[in-house]
Amino acid sequence: MTLELPPQRRLAVNIGVDFDAHATWMGTFGQTSPGFLSRGEFDALVGLPRLLGALARHDVIGNFFTPTHTMSTFPAEFESVLESGHEISAHGCWHEPIMKIDAAEERRLLQLQIEQHERIVGKRPRGYRSPAWDFTEQTLDLLEEFGFDWDSSLMGRDFEPYRPRPVTIDREHGNSFGAPSSILEFPVSWHLDDWPATEHIPGVNQGFESPETIYARWKAHIDFAYERVPNALVSITVHPQAIGRAHYLLMFERFLSYVANLEGVWFTNLSALLPYWTD
């Protein structure tokens, strides 16, 4: 099971944009106050155009993981995403906390978001990203049942795609793994996500890391993968309301320039990697 990049490509880099707007505050954080929703408004009206501009200037094509609630609440802004050419992937209906809703509701919302993708985007999403990067015991089965090709929410590797396996818990005799899934996992990491590093959420997350700290951490991951891991994929996750702040955006543009100047780097969306994977 391996990824083999096309000739002349040494490292694949995916910029995954979680364009959540109001939905992350409503779903993951249970916040609907005007203050929190205004941060979601900044996401769509200020952070998004800045980020789209930065990606375009560096010829970066990646993925937008967008709750369908965001598509419906900010249709003009989402239209600019559609026009940008990035791949649109599933990221929940309203950033629903799937660990807190029941199994029937998780299934209903997955079906609803696929229908909304078909209506708004014009096609079914090939990939899924769980709203807060966690799975219930049925999520992997649901993704298989609904015909997804890949997921990008789990953390079982850092630089290599893999086939996730369901785990049966046995506290006294050791856990056991089931058969590898038909879903290909493009792993993520909180270390490569701007959200916990930047967003101040009173009582929940400090944020406020310096741009230099984030730059150094992300650059180290790129350098390690570039030098030591053949056919690696580095997945970076950004949010317009986080990376779109002035000091972070300047850092991100510097980071994109650094990566783009490495010979053999391929900025790509995730579905474009599927032909280069063999089981």
Cβ closest to Zn ion, residue 18 vs residue 106 = 18
Calpha distance 275→69 (Å, rounded): 31
106 binds Zn ion (CB under 5 A): no
Positions 117 through 176 that interact with Zn ion (CB under 5 A) = none
User: Which of 5, 14, 18, 188 is in the footprint of Zn ion by CB under 5 A?
Assistant: 18
For the CB of residue 140, give the shortest distance to Zn ion in the complex, in Å: 19
Residue 132: CB minimum distance to Zn ion, A: 7
Residue closer to Zn ion (CB basis): 18 or 77 = 18
Selection from 129, 111, 120, 121 nearest residue 24 by Cα: 129
φ/ψ (deg, to 5) at 176: -130, 150
Cα 175 to Cα 157, 166, 178, 199, 216: the distances in Å are 19, 10, 10, 36, 37
We find the least distance from the C-beta atom of residue 199 to Zn ion, in angstroms, to be 11
What residue type is 229 in one-letter code?
V
Q: Which stretch binds Zn ion (CB under 5 A): 14-22, 40-48, 97-105, 185-193?
A: 14-22
Which of 11, 20, 150, 243 touches Zn ion (CB under 5 A)? 20
Applying the rule CB under 5 A, the residues between 203 and 222 that interact with Zn ion are: none
- In angstroms, give the least distance from the CB of 176 to Zn ion: 31
Name the minimum Å distance from CB 131 to Zn ion: 5
Structure tokens at 14: 């995916």
Task: Name the nearest CA neighbour of 192 among 216, 228, 217.
Answer: 217
Segment lying near Zn ion (by CB under 5 A), choices 13-21, 48-56, 160-168, 209-217: 13-21
Residues ≥6 apart with Cβ < 8 Å to 73: 21, 22, 23, 44
By beta-carbon proximity to Zn ion, the closer residue of 20 and 87 is 20
3-state secondary structure of 33: coil
Q: Which is nearer to Zn ion, 148 or 226 (CB)?
A: 148
Residue least distant from Zn ion (Cβ): 18
| Alpha-carbon gap, residue 81 to 87, rounded angstroms | 9
Residue number with CB closer to Zn ion (18 or 96): 18
Of 11-19, 35-43, 255-263, 266-274, which part binds Zn ion (CB under 5 A)? 11-19
Q: CB–CB of 195/248 below 8 Å?
A: no
Structure tokens that stand for 61 in this block: 């094509």
Q: Kindly give, in sequence order, each residue whose CB lies less than 8 Å from that of residue 113, ignoring residues fewer than 6 positions away.
A: 67, 68, 90, 92, 93
Q: Which is nearer to Zn ion, 90 or 232 (CB)?
A: 90
- Site size toward Zn ion (CB under 5 A) is 2
**Local structure of 234: helix, strand or coil:** strand
Cα–Cα distances in Å, from 122 out to 82, 88, 279?
10, 10, 30
Residue 6 beta carbon to Zn ion: minimum distance, rounded to whole angstroms: 30
Residues that bind Zn ion (CB under 5 A): 18, 20
